[in-house]
């Protein structure tokens, strides 16, 4: 399996540039071109202690961020290096102020692993959630560099626990420490004989609490909401937008205002949304007319969703129909009950929030309407905030152990 993995990675390395030439995929081009610059990146590290954080994408960075900020606060003498696998994370956080350097992780080959380690010369390495890169980890372990896995989440049906995943599983005992999100993951790894584990929880709870405390007033959204309840479609995909459209077709004059904050804010998709909801006369965030009283506002910008949640009464979060659920903790930190599609087995926070009565599964427009009625007729704000606050504290556990 190791040999097959190596061959696959090499094929990807060779063939991706060809695909970039054949198909017009901007994200794929960023994936390739960004990695060409990784090993050319100048060494900007000013201190002897270098902590390297690797995040697959933006969601994992949000889990790493409170740890980075706490570490820098406790010990300003450390240098921080952040790497990303996905353009979605890198493009949004390449200018992160607390990092001495931010770049792409090269593809996982033995040569690339040695090159990137020699370039960064890390004192300690922190991976987030699922990151298990075979050749990179082998090289780090061989050099005796401590590697931590934070906010980790493991399930019994993952391939790493099957016959063909055993070669990857053997890497887990070599981590300096694995911080797990919940008891289920802890019991699973304990049953496999691992000792280098503990339950810390998910560091994103700490992140969203900090974020909620620092949110700034948004007069555009405040004016749009006026004195009415507000529903937000957060990071929505076409499925969530279709359910909202079906609901509005049956209920053309809802008792609440609506903000659609799509995951895809490309001009083409924004135009599609405007056409789809045309009979409801939606306004764009960038072109809102305070004199109009339409019920739908399309958030066609990046960076305003958190301030929107501050004004919200309920949220319908995207990704629940694809198994890629977006951040439900952010709205919950503002006391906003959440709805989402039913596919979220990889996101234990959804199950926890369901148990607390602040998360509602929605599969269609009928269930969407039922969930809205439950939220509108029950005061769930304090329940949501208490759920977030009671789940905080992971960052302190992680940072104290690493230091």
Q: Which residues of 305-339 are buried (b: 16+ CB within 10 A; e: fewer)?
A: bbbbbbbbbbbbbbbbbeebbbbbbbbbbbbbbbb
Domain boundaries 216-389, corresponding CATH code? 3.40.50.2000
So where are the chain's domains? 2-201, 216-389
pLDDT, tens digit, 9 for 90 and up, residues 228-284: 999 999 999 999 999 999 999 999 989 999 999 999 999 999 999 999 999 998 999
pTM, rounded to two decimals? 0.86
3-state secondary structure of 249: helix
What pLDDT shows up at residue 320?
96
Q: Is residue 274 a contact partner of residue 282, using CB atoms and an 8 Å limit? A: yes
pLDDT, tens digit, 9 for 90 and up, residues 337-372: 999 999 998 899 999 999 999 999 999 999 999 999
CATH topology of domain 2-201: Rossmann fold (3.40.50)
Burial of 123 (0-12, 13-18, 19+ CB in 10 A): middle
Q: Is residue 63 a contact partner of residue 152, using CB atoms and an 8 Å limit? A: no
- Give the pLDDT band (50/70/90) at residue 47: low
* DSSP annotation string for 162-182: SGGGHHHHTTGGGSSEEEESS
């Amino acid at each position: 399996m190791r040999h097959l993995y190596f061959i696959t990675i090499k094929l990807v390395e060779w063939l991706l540039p060809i695909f970039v030439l054949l198909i017009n995929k901007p994200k794929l081009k960023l994936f390739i071109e960004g990695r060409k610059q990784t090993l050319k990146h100048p060494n900007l590290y000013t201190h002897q202690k270098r902590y390297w954080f690797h995040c697959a994408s933006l969601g994992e960075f949000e889990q790493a961020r409170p740890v980075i900020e706490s570490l820098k606060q406790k010990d300003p003498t450390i240098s921080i290096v952040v790497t990303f696998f996905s353009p979605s994370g890198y493009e949004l956080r390449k200018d992160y102020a607390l990092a001495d350097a931010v770049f792409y992780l090269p593809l996982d080959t033995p040569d690339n692993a040695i090159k990137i380690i020699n370039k960064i010369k890390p004192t300690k390495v922190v991976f987030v959630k699922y990151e298990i890169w075979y050749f990179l980890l082998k090289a780090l372990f061989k050099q005796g560099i401590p590697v931590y896995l934070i906010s980790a989440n493991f399930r019994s049906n993952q391939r790493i626990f099957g016959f063909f995943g055993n070669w990857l599983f053997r890497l887990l005992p070599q981590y300096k420490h694995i911080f797990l999100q919940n008891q289920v993951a802890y019991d699973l790894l304990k049953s496999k004989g691992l000792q280098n584990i503990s339950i810390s929880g998910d560091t994103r709870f700490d992140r969203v609490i900090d974020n909620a405390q620092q949110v700034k007033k948004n007069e555009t959204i405040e004016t749009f909401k006026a004195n009415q309840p507000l529903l937000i479609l957060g990071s929505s995909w076409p499925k969530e937008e279709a359910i909202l459209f079906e609901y509005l077709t049956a209920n053309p004059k809802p008792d609440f205002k609506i903000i659609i904050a799509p995951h895809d804010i490309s001009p083409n998709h924004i135009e599609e949304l405007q056409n789809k909801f045309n009979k409801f006369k939606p306004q764009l965030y960038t072109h809102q007319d305070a004199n109009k009283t339409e019920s739908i506002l399309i958030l066609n910008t990046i960076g305003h969703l958190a301030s929107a949640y501050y004004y919200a009464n309920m949220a319908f979060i995207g990704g629940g129909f694809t198994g890629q659920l977006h951040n439900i903790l952010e709205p919950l930190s503002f006391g906003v009950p959440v709805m989402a599609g039913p596919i979220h087995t990889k996101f234990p926070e959804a199950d926890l929030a369901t148990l607390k009565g602040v998360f509602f599964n929605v599969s269609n427009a009928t269930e969407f309407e039922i969930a809205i009625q439950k939220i509108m007729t029950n005061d769930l704000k304090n329940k949501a905030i208490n759920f977030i606050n009671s789940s905080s504290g992971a960052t302190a556990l992680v940072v104290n152990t690493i230091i």
